[in-house]
Chains A and B, each alone.
Chain A
Amino acid sequence: MEPRRFASKKRYVAAIVIGTLAFLLVFGISYSLSYIELQRVSNLQTGIGYDIFKDKLEYSFFDEPVCGATPLEKVSQDLGFQGRIIDDLEKKLGKHYEGVLARKKFYTLVELEHLEFVNILNERCDGNVNTILFFYSNNESKLDDSEEAGRILGVVSARNENLMVYSFDVDLVSDIIEKLKKKYNITDSPVAVINEQVQVKLPANIQEIERHLR
């Protein structure tokens, strides 16, 4: 049999070019959407940060009563939402993406500002708001445990109205995180620090957390 001719070798080149462009285009779209999301989270963070600072200033600078109706649920959801967006962006854009790292650092500050505010509420208004500082890690060896613990805390948060959960990435290169780790003696992850007193390492079920709540 005589060898057959190819229909068109140029067509192969064209197909490789089109296929490669389509392949890269999809990754480009995915990356662009993540970038747009990063811009959005920046605006959201600025908004929530503004609200928290404003609330604090109202009582500390203008001596307004602090014991009013401050809806925790909304702030709790907003903070949780932001935390998730930042985690998702970290997974999509990479652990070393500067924009995400900056947002994460700012998020840590916003959380601590709110924690301080909740502590004042508890102290001055006989409040019984529980706080959990959740130290997690996105490192491969800790990721599954951290995600599981995060899911358990999500359920605990949904079951308890007067509870605020603040999440901190132990691997984030930040002075604040280092100081927090030192203050609460965090050497491993995931760890939940309940009401800034009790440490629960690798929480395995909701009882382990709930028995320490007020």
Chain B
Amino acid sequence: MEIITIIIYLSVYMGLISTSFYILSFIAGGKKKKLLYTDEELPRVSVIIPAYNEEDSIEKTIKSIIASDYPDFEVIVVDDGSKDNTLEIARKFSSNRVRVFHKKNGGKGTALNFGIKRATGKIIFTMDADTTVDSKSMKNMVRFFKEDKVMCVTPAMVINNPKSIFQRIQYTEYALGLFLRKAFSSLRAIYIAPGAFSAYRKAFFDKYGGYDENNITEDLEMSLRIQYKGYHAENCPEAPAYTNAPRTFKELTMQRRRWYFGQVRNLWKYRKIISPKYGDLGAFVIPTAILSICFSVTITIFLFFKTLFEIKKNLLFLQSVNFDFPNTININFYIIERFLFLFLTKPVVLFTILFMVILGFYTYYASKKIGKPPLMILNWMLFFLLFAVLFGFWWIFSLFYTLTKKTIKWK
């Protein structure tokens, strides 16, 4: 058996075990009763919106948050030296509830820390200026802070109005994340909180400091820091937050390069987390995530070279038959039957079908929580056809950047 075949089957085997484990954890998490704040106990909240050149979306974002049904909250908009009309638009909303600040451009981390210093709430929400939320999202999320060890609560992130192929792929990816985050929360193993909309206990910032201003993925650094210090994060699937996703391949690749580059750096920074001392997170969740990345990178590199080799081989073959396409293709019943038999009896194809069914289950769960989007089946198919290859490609690209010590700036 070839080494690559062994690697593929190992990755499938690991995938089946981890999927079974997460489904079991998801079911167990659903049965567990959570300690939640009642309406009367809800503490004051500060929502911080850092903004840099967001004139197209800031109005919608502020409107969505002030329409929230939360009883006691303030909004702090921090304009991070925008060159467009972001500040002017935000100032239209200035009131007792909405405070707007302007500072010199310094990056998202500096804007968030600026807002945290001025926040009066016990709970801090960080919100991107291109994100909107449901009116009930804040209330549903804050309830989880009744448990002392909870330092962060994540929402159900949803891609807003997906149109391009890449946005549709991301829609399903986020839907999948919804299921996984729920499973991770039952293991107390959420180690990525979405930067677009998440809630934190202010006491954590007071004790351990604010965001790392030099970190390219400051949100990931914060979630890992919470875990590292012995606290944990919760997930609230009943709190949808809608964010704009990169539309083109280039935009998406740049975003992923930043994310994965940040992931490598931050996981290295908190590498001590990979230990049974950190329970399921350190012994299973992070190690399997790292292993799946290694498998994905190896298989993508193999597939790339195999595809090149096959193209060369087929070109040489076509040359040997004088490019006689009609007689080369010669599709008939026998050929189709043979192809279907060979294809459908390959274990890898059967495993793919199995994973498609599982993903279908995840998507069904997501549609129950966030509603059914138009063309859900199309999103699901695009995800299945392209995501694995894109995932491997982005990781190769990001690892190359990490290894060559190139730096990435947040724009």
Q: How far, in whole Å, are A6 and B19 apart by their CA atoms in the complex?
A: 17
A159 touches B327 (CB 8 A): yes
Q: Which of A16-24, A61-69, A130-138 is near enough to bind chain B?
A: A16-24
Q: Which of B276, B280, B317 contacts A3 (CB 8 A)?
A: B276
A88 touches B342 (CB 8 A): yes
Which residues in B have their C-beta under 8 angstroms from that of A204?
320
* B305 at interface by CB-CB < 8 Å: no
A19 touches B17 (CB 8 A): yes
* A29 at interface by CB-CB < 8 Å: yes
Task: Give residues of chain A (1-42) contacting chain B, Cβ–Cβ below 8 Å.
Answer: 1-8, 11-12, 14-16, 18-20, 22-23, 26-27, 29-30, 33-34, 37
A23-B12 contact in complex given A7-B186, A8-B28, A88-B341, C-beta closer than 8 Å:
yes
A15 touches B276 (CB 8 A): no
Secondary structure call for the A interface: helix
Contact with A along B309-336 (1 / 0, CB 8 A): 0000000010111101001101010100
Closest to B277 in A: A3
Chain A nearest Cβ from B204, distance in angstroms: 14
* B13 at interface by CB-CB < 8 Å: yes
Q: How far, in whole Å, are A51 and B187 apart by their CA atoms in the complex?
A: 66
B20 touches A18 (CB 8 A): yes
Which residues in A have their C-beta under 8 angstroms from that of B354?
22, 26
* A205 at interface by CB-CB < 8 Å: yes
Task: Give residues of chain A (88-128) contacting chain B, Cβ–Cβ below 8 Å.
Answer: 88, 92
Q: Which of A150-158, A176-184, A187-195 is near enough to bind chain B?
A: A150-158
A7 touches B341 (CB 8 A): no
Which residues in A have their C-beta under 8 angstroms from that of B18?
15, 19
Which residues in A have their C-beta under 8 angstroms from that of B344?
33
Which residues in B have their C-beta under 8 angstroms from that of A37?
341, 345
A81 touches B25 (CB 8 A): no
* B303 at interface by CB-CB < 8 Å: no
A81-B334 contact in complex given A4-B188, A26-B351, A92-B345, C-beta closer than 8 Å:
yes
Q: How far, in whole Å, are A5 and B281 apart by their CA atoms in the complex?
A: 10
A152 touches B320 (CB 8 A): yes
Q: How far, in whole Å, are A12 and B350 apart by their CA atoms in the complex?
A: 24
A12-B345 contact in complex given A80-B334, A155-B327, A206-B321, C-beta closer than 8 Å:
no
B321 touches A205 (CB 8 A): yes
Q: Which of B16, B280, B346 contacts A6 (CB 8 A)?
A: B280
A27-B324 contact in complex given A3-B276, A4-B277, A15-B21, C-beta closer than 8 Å:
no
Q: How far, in whole Å, are A85 and B327 apart by their CA atoms in the complex?
A: 21
A15 touches B327 (CB 8 A): no
Chain A nearest Cβ from B333, distance in angstroms: 9
Closest to A160 in B: B327
* B207 at interface by CB-CB < 8 Å: no
Chain B nearest Cβ from A104, distance in angstroms: 17
Which residues in A have their C-beta under 8 angstroms from that of B319?
205
Which residues in B have their C-beta under 8 angstroms from that of A26?
347, 350-351, 354
- Interchain residue pairs A-B with the least CB separation, the first 8: A4-B279, A19-B17, A15-B21, A19-B16, A158-B327, A1-B230, A18-B20, A205-B320
Chain B positions within 8 Å of A, measured between CB atoms, are 12-13, 16-21, 24-25, 28, 186-188, 229-230, 276-284, 317, 319-322, 324, 327-328, 330, 332, 334, 337-338, 341-342, 344-347, 350-351, 354
A–B pairs, 29, beta carbons within 8 Å: A1-B230, A4-B280, A4-B281, A5-B279, A7-B187, A7-B279, A7-B280, A11-B21, A11-B24, A11-B25, A12-B284, A18-B17, A18-B20, A19-B17, A19-B19, A22-B16, A23-B12, A23-B13, A23-B16, A33-B344, A34-B345, A84-B334, A88-B338, A148-B317, A154-B330, A155-B327, A155-B328, A158-B328, A205-B319
